[in-house]
Structure 1
């Protein structure tokens, strides 16, 4: 995109150049003019999409320039930048179609917010100007939302209200209750995410424009947005001559525009609109996505019944893999599921929905069991598509693995922390009860853990057996007590959990290298 800045003051032009986030809005060429007369030549030569102009300029001022732009029917978005909060200027700006009017000194936020709106508006209008058919422009500019809602409403009802039938008759010249119709569905999710970077309204507007240029221009039917779905376009045909050729033309035109080839799901013809819609919906849900990469227009006749795979049937194996914390074990389970899916089932949108719903149920149950907050962001892998819109089985498997891998990491992290906390509590219990014998079974009963598990985890955490760790605690405590000359060795022996003074002395010497009395003497001589 191009822009031009028209102002007789250079510092104002420099300020706009500095403050505007031009690259963000796709503006890569910016021209300058010091008055309206100089600007006219540049505008005719360069055809900038965005025009910034001052109002008070020599030779040809802003009002005269706006009038000239209006008379020449130049479609640029004109933004007036003026130091005058003057009704006369504002009225003329409105009269001659200025997009907005902002005051000096210029605030960066105001400038860029205005620039963003102007570029978006220009892009939308540029798409509309490309259409050569007046009827298409009327449908997309004046009544799109109305017809989206009306058609969405009647295709979900067994009978069509008389007022809706009359409106369709008047607008389209067709008695919708007396003709056999066919509904074709296409999901534009890949177009929304890949080509329009999440801008749903622009994606629907552009795609419907393409569809209706082909379908409505020949009065074969009408294309509209299903307002009850996030990404669904409905192609309603009431003329069946060369129906698949027509759909193929739509498909090719969309592919040329955004380099994405969408699959179309064709329902069974019927005089009942809701019947052909339900048939198309079943086609969309049940067709083989992998096979559709070869055949991009699928009909209700192409649908074959196939049992659905339920990952809930693998709950026990999944549970063991999750509890093990092993990615390899989980991948083994998933590989068996994927093999079954490929060999004995059809991968359809319905199958994907079943998988996603059951996985979410499993995940919620496991998060709840481990007391993990469900609000914590969890990976939802749904990017199964190549850049051209075709389904990738490899990407599907990769996304599903990522979900399970993240779940393993989440659960194992909590499990590890719980185990660590339990062992730390056992260590604290030893420190508080070192003066008595503590059987391992007592610890196991107290903490509801097996003796084998406690022994293994304690040594892993503290690099010592529980017996040796308890001995070290007693020796350290004995050292403290030996610093008190008034305590007898046998008294200290009892205080640190040894009922036999000789045994205590033997253990102490083995650990310290000195007998208790020798240690006391050495401490007193320091």
Structure 2
């Protein structure tokens, strides 16, 4: 924050003497320092010049100091009024305080006292400015990160008032621990850094107890912010030694503020797999759809038969599969998983827990995400319909075979998919249905093949493919073993 200063006294040498003193103090926030010699001149100057500190003599001809404070307080904000007085000006000083003055100096002005007074007022202004900007930032961010945000909205115009340049860049800073004190500390570090460096205008506030957002603005070329990122990542004085991770978007215009925010959030999700203490400024890799598709199938089966969750090693095996996903696949899986919870009949009516499912961006660690998934599956299982609870694992496997026997499924593949050993599946299946798994699979295929043979337009090769066999030879051999005649002979008999 740059703090401009205005000095008003009807004695030229007092004005210039104070101005010279202030220039020797080396206070970094101080910007332009102007002087004038009457209240009338001060009013004229302040039509265009907006000082944050005004030091005025109380006794002046024309508009005196008290009247000037009354008038300027209507047009200047934020502002701190200081008054110069003599030893016998008690009543004037008291009236000045009643009208908005915050402190005073006695004539003749002593350099050390003046310096302490200005440093104090600069600190108060900085604190006030920071609190106002954080409040404003929080308000604008709440609107700007909503999907319905548009460039023509009033919020966009409000942002442009404080960030006038054409280039914008979002950064989201995540803390590994949940502390409002840590968020306040991060914001303080950012404001302190920007006060001492040319970083351009910005908006900054906490958006959750674990995240702080920083919207930077600059005219053409982005400033070198590497020292800021390094300082934030290397400062270990945060609460309970919490670590930070930083996600940074590319540069965009005001209309793209929403997408810039989520670009920073997407990059920040890398911390779930790669940890904190890092700067994430590149896009995640493209998803490996084949691997995520396998896990989607597992979850889909699990929601159909929730009792699978309580089998001996299901959760460990599912976690193993999840650990193989990159961050983009993990996000896609999470969205798929929560979509299933919302759309599944077991998630309707009395299952209130699905109404407040967190966003993928809300998780601060992979362990937190994993715990959430496990908890949701357990909750889902407790609310699922009775017919699903009562359906045994082996019944679910039979249902899976009934729906998929036309594919190239095997005993081992089905066992792996349902998280039991092939030998155990074979035993359970025989005990339940009085036939082996392979015999039932063959029964399904042969029954279907016999119906297909009634269609003269289908070749034996086509029927083999449609019933789950790799080639016509294997199909014909299986058909003859089952019916005692070849498919061709069966078709001729049927005709």
Same fold, TM exceeding 0.5?
no
**Please, what TM-score do these two structures have when normalized by structure 2?**
0.41
Give the number of the structure whose alpha-carbon radius of gyration is greater.
1
**Please, what TM-score do these two structures have when normalized by structure 1?**
0.39
